[in-house]
Amino acid sequence: MKKLLWKLCFSYLLLAVLTLGISLIIASFLLKQFHLDQACHQLEAQARLFRSSVEKNFALSAAEINLLCAEFSAELGSRITVIVATGQVLADSEKNSAEMNNHADRPEIIAALAGEIGVSLRRSHSLDKELLYVAVPVRKNGIVWGVVRAALPAKLLDEQLVFHSRLLLAALPALLLAAVASFLLALRISRPLEEIEQGVLRFTQGSLHHRIHVAGPLEITSLSESCNRMAAQLDEQTAVLKKQLGLLESTFRSMAEAVIVIDKDGRLLRCNQAAGRLFGFDPAAVAQRDIQEIIRHADVQQFLERTLKNGGPTEEIIAVSIGPEKILNAHGCLLRGEIGQDGGALLVFHDITRLKQLETMRRDFAANVSHELKTPITAISGFVETLRDGAMHEPEDAARFLEIIARNVRRLHAIIEDLLALARLEQDEEQGQISLSWKAIKPVLENAAAVCTQAAEEKGISVELTCQDALKAQINSALLEQAVVNLLNNAIKYSSAGSTVILQVVKVTSDGVVISVQDFGCGIGKEHHARLFERFYRVDKARSCKLGGTGLGLAIAKHIVQAHHGTIVVESTLGRGSVFSIRLPL
Ligand code: ADP
């Protein structure tokens, strides 16, 4: 901006100098012209004066006229010459007329001889200097007899114009004044512009709340107001954009689906956190990198190639093994809009592993249920056929077959009861209908033990219960009793006769309580522990069926514990017995 100040200052000064200079030249020219006119008038008056003397004294000799010329010249200060019609010089105040050339060819003489006033500014051949001549015709009896000429050295004229230089001197203070005025004027424009520049600089640095306040010419103040209005609008638009961007960003971040945007060369433009989590990379560290470097998985890369080639939307189910195998529902489409003009694609991966697992579980469950129901139904229909084919007439066989039929009906009943219990549990859990209340645990355990008393007594097994009377937890008494009954039943079923089953609260901490059911029976091999709580999972199917098991007892127990926000675990050693522990939060 300092540059602008000096530029403006110099321009104004140049303008002032030019104006002053041109004015001076014109003034000087006019002045010179004025002086020339003045001198001409003066010389003409002198010539006319001398002419009247000549016209009165035509009888005078040349010497006398010469004398007269000299007297006049001394009196008036100009050179006086008398020339006859032939151009011959009769008398001259400065030079001997006899030595002078014929003057018929001099412009002022030609004009005067023609009866006019001759004026000429030229070099004198006789005196060899610049002279201003004015010649008037001298008439004798109405005919031009000759010419009287008055002349003045041009140098004298110039001397009269000596004050031109004074004029120049007088212009100097004006010039100085113009310089100061130029500086002040330039400052008046450049200073507010400088302030506007500073303000705009602050706008570009992001301070859009800043406002420019300048005093100065109207155009500059309205420029600053326009800048302020522009900043306010920019501020508003930036806020709207920021809000929209924030909304988009948080939507992008919150999405459970992995979203990846790539350009036509397969370089990653954007991706969200879910994509990083799914494919195991840091989204902040992979921008602009080749997608093939980031996701080293053949199926994903092939899907990407197909999307870029297809043009239209592409959808596929892809199985990727990044850690545990994951099933992904992949959607891909080409980018539209401004970014899309250069090509590129949007890929969305939805992790449907859990969904697929649930689907598989549901399928397996349906198959298992059919299979579980099919066995007793086949047995029942088989024995009914046998009875119909004649076995019912043999009382001993008929009684045995009917007992088998009854046992399978009980089994069917037990399976259906357990399935219904599970379905009810799931439904209640989904609808949030399982109510928990702060109740004592001991009565629940006592009731569960009482339910199993008969089965325990049949095998001569003693059930030992240890629990503090005052111990309370958030429970649903009926459901918790059902879970403990299932565990106790198993403990009794898979223990040898005469052994002991211990039901106790083993651990009470500030945040939880652990109820355990311990037996010293056959135990369970480690390889089965992980699947033990699945529906219809049995370690020894024949044994379970023989003992009237449905394969659903532990699944029901697990569901009940989950409804209590607790966990259930098993510790067991083959041949030594098992401990099932229910952990309930307090
Ligand atoms: P079941 O009706 O067959 O007992 P569960 O779901 O209750 O079904 O148990 C699943 C399987 O776990 C049983 O078939 C059995 O093999 C094993 N099991 C459960 N509890 C015990 C235990 N206390 N001791 C040994 N095995 C057990």
User: Which H helix or E strand runs over 187?
Assistant: helix 163-204
Residues 47 and 161 in one domain: yes
Query: Cα-flanking dihedrals φ and ψ of residue 16, to 5°?
Result: -65, -45
The rounded distance, in Å, linking the Cα atoms of 78 and 150 is 6
- Residue 234: alpha-carbon gap to chain centroid: 13
Any domain includes 247: no
Residues 476 and 520 in one domain: yes
| Cα 538 to middle of ligand 1, angstroms | 6
The rounded distance, in Å, linking the Cα atoms of 121 and 158 is 13
Residues 28 and 134 in one domain: yes
Residue 306 has a pLDDT of: 86
CATH number at residue 398: 1.10.287.130
Q: Whose CA is nearest to atom 20 of ligand 1?
A: 490
Cβ(568) – ligand 1 distance below 6 Å? no
Any domain includes 219: no
Residue with tokens 């602008």: 4
**What integer is the mean pLDDT of 45-49?**
91
Residue 337 pLDDT level (bands cut at 50, 70, 90): low
Query: Is the predicted pLDDT of residue 339 greater than 60, yes or no?
Result: no
State which residues form the domain around 150.
4-166
Task: Identify which of 27, 14, 37 has the alpha carbon closest to the alpha carbon of residue 168.
Answer: 27
| Cα 550 to middle of ligand 1, angstroms | 9
Residues 511 and 561 in one domain: yes
Query: Is the predicted pLDDT of residue 409 greater than 60, yes or no?
Result: yes
Residues 155 and 102 in one domain: yes
| Cα 581 to middle of ligand 1, angstroms | 14
Query: Is the predicted pLDDT of residue 168 greater than 60, yes or no?
Result: yes
Structure tokens belonging to residue 121: 């500014």
Number of folded domains in the chain? 4
The rounded distance, in Å, linking the Cα atoms of 53 and 207 is 96
Query: Is the predicted pLDDT of residue 362 greater than 90, yes or no?
Result: no
Any domain includes 237: no
Return the ligand 1 atom nearest residue 486 CA: 7
Q: Whose CA is nearest to atom 11 of ligand 1?
A: 538
Residues 19 and 156 in one domain: yes
Query: Cα-flanking dihedrals φ and ψ of residue 572, to 5°?
Result: -155, 145
Structure tokens belonging to residue 109: 């003489």
| Cβ-proximal residues to 25 (8 Å cutoff; 6+ apart), any chain | none
Pocket test for ligand 1, best of 544, 570, 579 (most atoms within 8 A of CB): 544
pLDDT tens, position by position, 59-94:
788 888 888 889 888 988 889 999 999 999 999 988
The rounded distance, in Å, linking the Cα atoms of 524 and 200 is 80
**3-state per-residue secondary structure call for 304-352:** HHHHHHHCCCEEEEEEEECCCEEEEEEEEEECCHHHHCCCCEEEEEEEC
CB–CB of 582/514 below 8 Å?
A: yes
Structure tokens belonging to residue 110: 């030609």
The rounded distance, in Å, linking the Cα atoms of 80 and 65 is 10
Residue 377 has a pLDDT of: 94
Structure tokens belonging to residue 398: 């008929």
Confidence (pTM)? 0.54
| Residues β-bridged to residue 149 | 81, 135
The rounded distance, in Å, linking the Cα atoms of 552 and 422 is 8
pLDDT tens, position by position, 303-334:
888 888 877 788 999 988 777 788 999 999 98
Query: Is the predicted pLDDT of residue 492 greater than 90, yes or no?
Result: yes
Any domain includes 171: no
Instruction: Report the mean per-residue pLDDT for the chain.
Output: 88
Cβ(566) – ligand 1 distance below 6 Å? no
Residues 386 and 495 in one domain: no
Q: What is the DSSP letter of 532?
A: T
Residues 12 and 160 in one domain: yes
Amino acid at 528: H
Any domain includes 365: yes
Q: What is the DSSP letter of 393?
A: G
Q: What is the DSSP letter of 394?
A: S
Buried b vs exposed e over 245-254: b needs ≥16 C-beta within 10 Å? eeeeeeebee
Residue 586 has a pLDDT of: 80
Better-scored residue on pLDDT, 542 or 502: 502
Residue with tokens 């297809």: 310
Any domain includes 176: no
Specify the 3-state DSSP secondary structure of 277. Answer: helix
Q: Where is the domain boundary, 166, 198, 213?
A: 166
Specify the 3-state DSSP secondary structure of 576. Answer: coil
Better-scored residue on pLDDT, 406 or 365: 406
Residue 513 pLDDT level (bands cut at 50, 70, 90): very high
**What integer is the mean pLDDT of 221-234?**
92
User: Which of 50-54, 454-458, 575-579 is least confident?
Assistant: 50-54
Cβ(148) – ligand 1 distance below 6 Å? no
- Residue 274: alpha-carbon gap to chain centroid: 22
Largest CA distance in the chain: 205
Better-scored residue on pLDDT, 210 or 509: 210
Query: Is the predicted pLDDT of residue 160 greater than 60, yes or no?
Result: no
Q: Whose CA is nearest to atom 19 of ligand 1?
A: 490
| Cα 514 to middle of ligand 1, angstroms | 20
Structure tokens belonging to residue 253: 């971040």
Any domain includes 408: yes
Residues 445 and 495 in one domain: yes
Q: Where is the domain boundary, 351, 375, 392?
A: 351
Cβ(519) – ligand 1 distance below 6 Å? yes
| Cα 534 to middle of ligand 1, angstroms | 11
**3-state per-residue secondary structure call for 193-260:** HHHHHHHHHHHHCCCCCCCCCCCCCHHHHHHHHHHHHHHHHHHHHHHHHHHHHHHHHHHHHHCCCEEE
Residues 366 and 337 in one domain: no
The rounded distance, in Å, linking the Cα atoms of 488 and 516 is 10
DSSP string of 361-380, one letter each residue: HHHHHHHHHHHHHHHHHHHH
Cβ(550) – ligand 1 distance below 6 Å? yes
Residues 370 and 342 in one domain: no
Amino acid at 257: E
Q: Where is the domain boundary, 333, 351, 369?
A: 351
Query: Cα-flanking dihedrals φ and ψ of residue 475, to 5°?
Result: -140, 160
Residue 161 has a pLDDT of: 57
Any domain includes 223: no
Residues 278 and 399 in one domain: no
The rounded distance, in Å, linking the Cα atoms of 167 and 27 is 9
| Residues β-bridged to residue 568 | 582
Residue 540 has a pLDDT of: 83
Pocket test for ligand 1, best of 413, 452, 538 (most atoms within 8 A of CB): 538
pLDDT tens, position by position, 525-575:
999 999 999 988 888 877 777 777 888 999 999 999 999 999 999 999 999
**HSE-up (13 A, CA, CB side) for residue 207:** 9
Residue 158 has a pLDDT of: 65
**What integer is the mean pLDDT of 274-300?**
86
Residue 397 has a pLDDT of: 85
The rounded distance, in Å, linking the Cα atoms of 231 and 243 is 18
Angle made by CA atoms 458, 400, 397, in degrees to the nearest 5: 155
**What integer is the mean pLDDT of 497-516?**
90
Task: Identify which of 515, 484, 518, 471 has the alpha carbon closest to the alpha carbon of residue 499.
Answer: 518
Cβ(534) – ligand 1 distance below 6 Å? no
Amino acid at 517: V
The rounded distance, in Å, linking the Cα atoms of 460 and 462 is 7
Q: Computed over its alpha carbons, how large is the radius of gyration of the chain?
A: 64
Task: Identify which of 9, 432, 403 has the alpha carbon closest to the alpha carbon of residue 182.
Answer: 9
CATH number at residue 302: 3.30.450.20
CB–CB of 522/547 below 8 Å?
A: no
User: Which H helix or E strand runs over 400?
Assistant: helix 395-431
| Cα 398 to middle of ligand 1, angstroms | 33
Residue 2 has a pLDDT of: 64
Cβ(577) – ligand 1 distance below 6 Å? no
Query: Is the predicted pLDDT of residue 380 greater than 90, yes or no?
Result: yes
Q: What is the DSSP letter of 564?
A: T
Structure tokens belonging to residue 91: 């008398």
CATH number at residue 496: 3.30.565.10
Other beta carbons within 10 Å of 277: 13
